[in-house]
């Protein structure tokens, strides 16, 4: 029954039990071992050779043409290809159309080269294949996860030795948790905040059990809101939608000229809400340590003061900026983060881990009790089962990667990377300001900045023009930046991203900006100059007779 | 600035810029390449050697003692260890205290051996480090993801060629999505169901935007409920809590003697709700294709009929059983799944992918419009950015692993594994029934069964006893099974799990059962007999004079 007929012509692959089960046992003989190693060699260095040649998000083949090649909707009954051919295809056919995020010229997104040992560590995690949802499928790995959670918690909160000795391996308390990404980490934080605000009381069994409708009734409120600057990540809106409070109730507070939350606006919003007689509850205020678009850091200490004064839950989205805490030189930029009720940090961003790893930390080790779930077959009360307090279910042991990486790099190693990014961004900002045809739009606070091509003649005309003229010029400049970004990306040499901001320079009008994220240690000022040169060149070629008067 | 002092004594590791940046470039020279390969060899075969020796969830060192070893809460400033030492530690010190989920004697959970090539594929994903949240950091990989989503969608829904050609690469529609695990896949499905039910109408802008309170008002309802059998996964309760409908509104319907949802009970519950004059809305009915505890499959076709008749959203949680569709022999067990509005399938379960990979599929390719999010810097309207309709943000390209695995295995390869599990479970059930001191508690429908040690003398006494005597005997039997499971696990030779069920045999009383999940192709009836033998032996030794009369 388990053996297929062997009467088929050679080269036709047939699924058969013997071949199949062999893939479940690692081979004992040297030849078979050598083959497996050869594949790894191909993966490590075959991909490497490609990555050297190929840069950025190249459009050599259009996305449309590419998509047309992947329209096979049938799972083949028998194997389509041998393993060796599948691996070769991945390396030679697929990878050249992936994006070389490891290039030092790829400075458009929060994805970069990672140390090569991260790939080894990920391989170990895959080979062990532990499931940290429960101790029975992870054992030591769950214990290590609790240790690394304590290490990062300490980096943020700097509690006492006694505090950590009490909680690090406690089966009752939780210093934080791992999850797929920052989006889900932010969702976890607001889930905890919601349940803490709408907790059980006087016969009401809590929002988690009875739902929002009952919770609003029990607390006599009509809505919950979350206050965050307009630079807040869209995951917060999504969390508002998912949690049932409505994404329109994630209220965007204006920012100041440095793209930090405007504290006056915030205070006024809080007062207005308080004046409504308690019908609106403020679920949380979210501070950002490294906004996605501009890398700005909100005044966390002041935000914490406001939260304390008003008894409001304080979450900090440090998905990007969190690891800055490892730099003695720049950790002060995040001062006040230790006062947050919860903090999001992403591992696949500035901890240089492979895709993906999100984390959320809590000041209060019992606050996650508000999101506890048990089942008779899993996550038993009092066990080390990490699935008890988690948005997620089954989960791979990425904590093992972080634990190892911290040992290999040391906080000083991470600090060197962070400092390189911040300092290179500053150099780059100075370079942009030196060039007549560019404008620095947002000065880097961490290692992200935005700027735009803004030809000097247009700058002058803008300043002298009336509002209609200014609108026309701004639209032209927007078109220029939109096009230059696209053409540079398609040329495949380098990649910056673009976004749309509103700034004090021309309030109320959208400005298309180029966005640079400097995290790759191989990205230096020479490379960034090359990128500016290329942009200027593209501009000259694509807009030879740009005339704002027409 | 970036160079540390070299004046320190030898062997003290110092974080320095040169060493650090070298880890970001793959080495060019043969010696360095050989070192990287040597690490991989160590990972592939070092772990292998350990896995051969070490079986199950051994308690050679207690969890408490283990936890005591991992209480370091300080991140070392300089590197603690060299890469080579970290890898050796992981293999020689850490791995022996992990759980050997790959052992054929590890039959307690839905985690098993995976084909070795899965580790290679995961390594490729890590080395490419694409982020499929957006096309600019993934390109071809997002396109491949859309293709593999179509393949699995077709496996479930079997729509026409024309349907797939329209949607497979459409930037407007979505056949499904990948996410970290089945818990989040179920959450996604219920999120979509909630937003579809409480959609925008007559000036109401939808639950996602305005929140549940406003939605209930707009629709004139007081609560939403989800109906699912009491064997439903706890992730559904969690989803109810998160989505704001309240986890008490996830209503557990009784099961029949085969642990399938009792359709009469379901019908009665629906009628009762309908009689309340529309104050309660049924958000969804969830059918299960492979319950976690017993592997039972609900009557999906009948559930679909009920949903259609009552205009209710129908979700199927096939996290476990979904891949059964690849077996021509057994796919009929899931008949009716093609009528579901959405289906959850886990990749790390019966698709034998590494931890972790969840998926959810939707019959209607536009239904995910209800959970669309955009941002100016990401997920732009009309783009291929897969983050537009997703609970998650940044996400690794596990779809590439599934796409490759389907090519390497063919559906027939997967079918052989599925059929082995189902047929071995049947053999095992027969073996249990043959043994006087055991009782088969739930007969396997797929490849999961539960049973218990039930010494023959106690069986007789139970049948003859009055209710109080029966309670005493049942408690003793529960203790026996609880203890035997623990002692077997601690002996480290094999691992079955345990859970608590209520059955028709002794309604209203908890019965502790041993639970077996047979998915490892190396697990055969001889191994399962060994496990029973060991349990009987442990029982004889641990309970030499068990006397139910005392």
Chain B residues whose CB is inside 8 A of the A417 CB are 20
pLDDT band, very low/low/confident/very high, at B550 (cuts 50, 70, 90): very low
Instruction: Please give the average per-residue pLDDT across A394-418, as a whole number.
Output: 97
Locus of tokens 């088969």: B440
Query: Which chain B residue's Cα is nearest to A93?
Result: B140
Report B:254-283 residues touching A (Cβ under 8 A): none
Locus of tokens 């060994």: B530
Query: Which chain A residue's Cα is nearest to B79?
Result: A410
DSSP class of B443: -
Residue with more model confidence, A548 or B102: B102
How many Å apart are CA A531 and CA B353, to the nearest integer?
41
Cβ contact A202:A378 at 8 Å: no
Cβ contact B104:A24 at 8 Å: no
Residue of B123, B134, B351 to mutate when probing chain A, most A C-beta within 10 A: B123
Inspect the interface and report whether the beta carbons of A394 and B182 lie closer than 8 Å.
Answer: yes
Instruction: Please give the average per-residue pLDDT across A511-535, as a whole number.
Output: 97
How many Å apart are CA B127 and CA A424, to the nearest integer?
26
Cα dihedral B332, B334, B338, B342, rounded to 10, equals -170
Instruction: Give the 3-state secondary structure of residue B547.
Output: coil
How many Å apart are CA A122 and CA A43, to the nearest integer?
14
Q: Given this model, what pLDDT does residue B470 score?
A: 96
Positive or negative torsion for Cα A183, A188, A194, A197: negative
Query: Which chain B residue's Cα is nearest to A184?
Result: B392
Sheet strands (E) in A363-479: 438-442, 448-453
Q: Given this model, what pLDDT does residue B313 score?
A: 98
Residue of A355, A386, A415, A442 to mutate when probing chain B, most B C-beta within 10 A: A355
Locus of tokens 């009401």: A204
Distance from CA of A336 to the nearest CA of B (A): 20
Positive or negative torsion for Cα A276, A278, A279, A282: positive
Q: Is the pLDDT of residue A547 over 90?
A: no
Positive or negative torsion for Cα A73, A75, A76, A81: positive
Closest CA to A486 of A475, A476, A474, A498: A498
Q: Is the pLDDT of residue B1 over 60?
A: no
Nearest CB to A20 within list B14, B214, B413: B413
Inspect the interface and report whether the beta carbons of A36 and B165 lie closer than 8 Å.
Answer: no
Which residues share a beta bridge with A282? A225
Q: Is the pLDDT of residue A381 over 90?
A: no
Quote the tokens at residue B93.
């010190």
Instruction: Give the 3-state secondary structure of residue B49.
Output: helix
Q: Is the pLDDT of residue A133 over 90?
A: yes
Residue with more model confidence, B54 or A152: A152
Cβ contact A481:A441 at 8 Å: no
Report B:426-485 residues touching A (Cβ under 8 A): none
Residue of B120, B279, B322 to mutate when probing chain A, most A C-beta within 10 A: B120
pLDDT band, very low/low/confident/very high, at B5 (cuts 50, 70, 90): very low
Q: Is the pLDDT of residue A6 over 70?
A: no
Q: Is the pLDDT of residue A139 over 80?
A: yes
Q: Is the pLDDT of residue B547 over 70?
A: no
Proportion of chain A above pLDDT 90, given as a percent:
84
Query: Which chain B residue's Cα is nearest to A251?
Result: B209
Closest CA to A225 of B210, B221, B93, B444: B210
If residue A230 lies in a helix (H) or strand (E), which one and from where to where? none
Instruction: Please give the average per-residue pLDDT across A218-223, as a whole number.
Output: 96
Question: Which range (B86-100, B191-205, B294-308, B344-358) has the least confidence?
Answer: B86-100
Give the CA distances from residue B171 to residues A67, B139, B174, in Å, rounded to whole numbers and listed in that order: 10, 13, 8
Inspect the interface and report whether the beta carbons of B147 and A26 lie closer than 8 Å.
Answer: no
Closest CA to A392 of A228, A179, A75, A540: A179
pLDDT band, very low/low/confident/very high, at A3 (cuts 50, 70, 90): very low
CATH of A421-542 among 3.30.70.100, 1.10.20.140, 3.30.360.10, 3.90.1150.10 = 3.90.1150.10
Query: Parallel, antiparallel, or unpaired for β B448-453 and B438-442?
Result: antiparallel
Nearest CB to B181 within list A155, A234, A395: A395
- Averaged confidence pLDDT in chain B: 93
**DSSP line for A448-509:** EEEEEE--HHHHHHHHHS-HHHHHHHHHHHHHHHHHHHHHHHHHTS-B-EEEEE--TTSTTS
DSSP class of B538: H
Nearest CB to B209 within list A97, A117, A247: A247
The predicted-structure confidence for B150-180, as pLDDT tens digits, reads as follows 999 999 999 999 999 999 999 999 999 999 9
Which residues share a beta bridge with B60? none
Report residue A155: phi and psi, to 5°.
Answer: -60, -40
- Alpha-carbon Rg for chain B, nearest whole angstrom, is 26
Is A8 an interface residue toward B (CB < 8 Å)? no
Q: What is the value of pTM for the model shown?
A: 0.96
Q: Is the pLDDT of residue A109 over 60?
A: yes
The predicted-structure confidence for B514-536, as pLDDT tens digits, reads as follows 999 999 999 999 999 999 999 99
Inspect the interface and report whether the beta carbons of B63 and A36 lie closer than 8 Å.
Answer: no
Q: Name the most confidently modeled range: A382-386, B384-388, B422-426.
A: B422-426
Inspect the interface and report whether the beta carbons of A521 and B420 lie closer than 8 Å.
Answer: no
Q: Given this model, what pLDDT does residue A1 score?
A: 35
Q: Given this model, what pLDDT does residue B60 score?
A: 65
Q: Given this model, what pLDDT does residue A379 score?
A: 66
pLDDT band, very low/low/confident/very high, at B220 (cuts 50, 70, 90): very high
How many Å apart are CA A483 and CA A204, to the nearest integer?
57
Quote the tokens at residue B98.
């992990």
The predicted-structure confidence for B410-437, as pLDDT tens digits, reads as follows 999 999 999 999 999 999 999 999 999 9
Report residue B456: phi and psi, to 5°.
Answer: -60, -35
Distance from CA of A320 to the nearest CA of B (A): 12
How many Å apart are CA A246 and CA B340, to the nearest integer?
27
Give CATH for domain B411-542. Answer: 3.90.1150.170
Chain A residues whose CB is inside 8 A of the B93 CB are none
Instruction: Please give the average per-residue pLDDT across A514-522, as a whole number.
Output: 97
Q: Given this model, what pLDDT does residue A48 score?
A: 73
Q: Given this model, what pLDDT does residue B62 score?
A: 82
Number of neighbours of residue B55 by Cβ within 10 angstroms: 19
Inspect the interface and report whether the beta carbons of A57 and B249 lie closer than 8 Å.
Answer: no
Is B251 an interface residue toward A (CB < 8 Å)? no
Q: Given this model, what pLDDT does residue B546 score?
A: 62
Closest CA to A243 of A204, A207, A269, A217: A207
- Alpha-carbon Rg for chain A, nearest whole angstrom, is 26
Instruction: Please give the average per-residue pLDDT across A432-454, as a whole number.
Output: 97
CATH top-level class for A130-395?
A: alpha beta
Instruction: Give the 3-state secondary structure of residue B360.
Output: strand
The predicted-structure confidence for B452-493, as pLDDT tens digits, reads as follows 999 999 999 999 999 999 999 999 999 999 999 999 998 888
Instruction: Please give the average per-residue pLDDT across B20-40, as a whole number.
Output: 89
Is residue B326 classed exposed, middle or buried when 0-12, 13-18 and 19+ CB atoms within 10 A define those classes? buried
**DSSP line for B115-143:** -HHHHHHHHHHHHH---TTSGGGTTHHHH
How many Å apart are CA A140 and CA B50, to the nearest integer?
15
Q: Is the pLDDT of residue A209 over 70?
A: yes
Is A381 an interface residue toward B (CB < 8 Å)? no
Inspect the interface and report whether the beta carbons of B127 and A2 lie closer than 8 Å.
Answer: no
Report B:351-370 residues touching A (Cβ under 8 A): 354-356, 358
Is A13 an interface residue toward B (CB < 8 Å)? yes
Cβ contact A437:A454 at 8 Å: yes
Say what angle helices B456-464 and B467-491 make with each other, to 10 degrees: 160
Query: How many CA atoms within 13 Å lie on the side-chain side of B538?
Result: 22
Inspect the interface and report whether the beta carbons of B128 and A95 lie closer than 8 Å.
Answer: yes
Query: Which chain A residue's Cα is nearest to B73?
Result: A151
How many residue contacts between A and B have a Cβ separation below 8 Å? 582
Question: Which range (A202-216, A292-306, A480-494) has the least confidence?
Answer: A480-494
How many Å apart are CA B217 and CA A213, to the nearest integer?
10
Is B382 an interface residue toward A (CB < 8 Å)? no
Report residue B484: phi and psi, to 5°.
Answer: -60, -40
Q: Given this model, what pLDDT does residue A51 score?
A: 67
Quote the tokens at residue B92.
């020689």
Quote the tokens at residue A280.
């609106």
The predicted-structure confidence for A19-67, as pLDDT tens digits, reads as follows 899 999 877 789 989 999 999 999 999 887 666 666 655 566 788 888 9
Chain A residues whose CB is inside 8 A of the B21 CB are 521-522
Q: Given this model, what pLDDT does residue A28 score?
A: 77
Give the CA distances from residue A207 to residues A204, A227, A388, B189, B227, in Å, rounded to whole numbers and listed in that order: 8, 20, 18, 21, 19
Inspect the interface and report whether the beta carbons of B47 and A394 lie closer than 8 Å.
Answer: no
Residue with more model confidence, B45 or A159: A159
Q: Given this model, what pLDDT does residue B2 score?
A: 37
Chain B residues whose CB is inside 8 A of the A73 CB are 147, 150-151, 153-154, 161, 164-165, 168
Chain A residues whose CB is inside 8 A of the B75 CB are 151-152, 154-155, 326, 406, 410-411
Proportion of chain A above pLDDT 70, given as a percent:
94
Is B73 an interface residue toward A (CB < 8 Å)? yes
Distance from CA of B271 to the nearest CA of A (A): 22
Query: Which chain B residue's Cα is nearest to A123?
Result: B123
Q: Given this model, what pLDDT does residue A42 score?
A: 93
Q: Given this model, what pLDDT does residue B505 score?
A: 82
Sheet strands (E) in B215-324: 223-229, 250-253, 280-288, 314-317
């Amino acid at each position: 029954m388990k053996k297929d007929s062997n009467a088929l012509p050679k080269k036709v692959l047939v699924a058969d039990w013997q071949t199949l089960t062999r893939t479940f046992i690692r081979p004992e003989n040297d030849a078979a071992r050598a083959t497996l190693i050869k594949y790894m060699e191909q993966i490590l260095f075959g991909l490497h050779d490609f990555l050297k040649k190929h840069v950025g998000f190249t459009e050599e083949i259009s996305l449309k043409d590419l998509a047309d090649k992947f329209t096979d909707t049938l799972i083949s009954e028998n194997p389509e290809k041998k393993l060796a051919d599948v691996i070769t295809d991945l390396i030679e056919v697929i990878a050249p159309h992936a994006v070389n995020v490891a290039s030092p010229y790829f400075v458009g997104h929060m994805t970069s080269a990672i140390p090569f040992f991260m790939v080894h560590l990920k391989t170990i995690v895959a080979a062990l294949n532990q499931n940290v949802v429960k101790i029975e499928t992870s054992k030591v790995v769950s214990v290590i996860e609790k240790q690394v959670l304590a290490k990062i918690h300490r980096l943020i909160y700097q509690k006492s030795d006694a505090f950590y000795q009490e909680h690090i391996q406690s089966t009752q308390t939780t210093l934080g948790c791992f999850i797929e990404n920052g989006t889900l980490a932010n969702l976890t934080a607001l889930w905890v905040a919601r349940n803490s605000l709408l907790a059980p009381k006087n016969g009401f069994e809590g929002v988690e059990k009875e739902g929002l409708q009952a919770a609003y009734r029990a607390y006599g409120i009509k809505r919950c809101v979350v206050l965050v600057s307009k630079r807040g990540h869209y995951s917060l809106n999504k969390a508002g939608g998912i949690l049932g409070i409505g994404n329109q109730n994630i209220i965007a507070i204006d920012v100041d000229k440095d793209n930090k939350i405007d504290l006056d606006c915030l205070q006024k919003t809080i007062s207005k809400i308080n004046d409504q007689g308690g019908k609106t509850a403020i679920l949380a205020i979210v501070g950002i340590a490294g906004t996605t678009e501009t890398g700005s850091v909100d005044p966390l200490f002041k935000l914490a003061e406001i939260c304390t004064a008003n008894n409001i839950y304080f979450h900090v989205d440090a998905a990007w900026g969190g690891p800055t805490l490892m730099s003695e030189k720049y950790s002060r930029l995040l001062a006040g983060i230790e006062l947050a009720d919860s903090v999001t940090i992403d591992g696949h961003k500035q901890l240089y881990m492979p895709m993906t790893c999100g984390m959320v930390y809590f000041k209060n080790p019992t606050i996650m009790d508000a999101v506890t779930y048990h089942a008779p077959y899993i996550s038993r009360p009092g066990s080390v089962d990490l699935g008890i307090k988690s948005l997620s279910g089954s989960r791979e042991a990425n904590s093992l990667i972080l634990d190892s990486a911290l040992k290999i790099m040391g906080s000083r190693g991470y600090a060197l990377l962070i400092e390189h990014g911040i300092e290179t961004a500053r150099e780059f900002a100075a370079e942009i300001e030196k060039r007549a045809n560019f404008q620095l739009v947002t000065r880097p606070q961490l290692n992200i900045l935005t700027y735009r091509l803004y030809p000097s003649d247009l700058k002058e005309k803008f300043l002298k023009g009336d509002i209609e003229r200014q609108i026309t010029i701004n639209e032209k400049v927007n078109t220029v930046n939109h096009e230059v970004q696209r053409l540079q990306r398609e040329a495949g040499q380098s990649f910056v991203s673009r976004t749309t901001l509103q700034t004090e320079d021309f309030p109320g009008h959208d400005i298309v900006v180029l966005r640079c994220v400097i995290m790759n240690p191989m990205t230096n000022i020479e490379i960034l100059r090359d990128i500016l040169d290329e942009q200027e060149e593209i501009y000259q070629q694509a807009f030879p007779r740009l005339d704002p008067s027409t």
